[in-house]
């Protein structure tokens, strides 16, 4: 890899080694991110979640708490992420009866020096994995797909909206 390519990635130093970006000179600004994913379940597991009859407890409530908690710990999970004071983390679950799927979306905001895209992505990922964990005894074929950043606002790179 040549130096030009290495320097295109902010998480690599001039030698191509991992580097936590220095944000000390940045100013705090409003930053937001929205992410989503899809959890596809068997009809049996899907209905049990809707009926709140999973033996491990209320799947949606536990998944929401797991997502919020995980988003606050993103810096512990992703080695080069900064610890960010979060203003808001919200996680929503939309049921699609036709496909026996749950669309999970997260909204994360901060007034800080760096963005919250990773926190939003971690939130939906952990929510989906929590659903899997709580339902795996009923349905081991659960699929987690489409983990994406839907949009972000603020920061040097500007706004982004997935079309």
Residue of 8, 13, 76, 133 marked active site:
133
Tokens linked to 107: 């909204």
Backbone angles phi, psi at 86, to 5 degrees: -90, 135
Which of 104, 129, 101, 128 lies closest to 43 in space, CA to CA? 101
- CA count, 13 A, side-chain hemisphere, 91: 26
CB atoms within 10 A of CB 129: 18
Based on the residue annotation, tell me whether 133 is a catalytic residue of this protein. Answer: yes
Hey, what are 33's tokens? 């991110």
Instruction: Write out the two tokens for 102.
Output: 């749950």
Q: Which two tokens stand for residue 120?
A: 């939003």
CA dihedral defined by 86, 88, 89, 92, rounded to 10 degrees? Answer: -170
From edge to edge, which strands make up the β-sheet containing 160-161? Answer: 88-96, 101-112, 29-40, 143-153, 160-161
Do you know the residue count of the chain? 163
Active site residues: 133
């Amino acid at each position: 890899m040549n130096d030009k390519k290495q320097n295109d990635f902010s998480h690599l130093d001039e030698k191509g080694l991992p580097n936590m970006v220095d944000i000390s000179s940045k100013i705090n600004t409003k930053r937001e991110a929205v992410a989503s994913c899809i959890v596809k379940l068997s009809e049996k597991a899907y209905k049990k979640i809707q009926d709140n009859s999973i033996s491990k407890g209320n799947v949606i409530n536990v998944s929401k708490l797991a997502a919020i908690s995980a988003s606050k710990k993103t810096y512990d999970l992703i080695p080069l992420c900064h610890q960010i004071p979060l203003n808001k983390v919200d996680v929503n679950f939309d049921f699609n009866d036709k496909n026996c799927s749950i669309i999970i979306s997260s909204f994360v905001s901060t007034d800080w020096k760096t963005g919250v895209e990773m926190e939003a992505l971690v939130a939906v990922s952990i929510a989906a994995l929590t659903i899997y964990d709580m339902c795996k005894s009923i349905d081991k074929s659960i699929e987690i797909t489409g983990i994406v950043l839907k949009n972000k606002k603020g920061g040097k790179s500007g706004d982004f909206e997935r079309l």
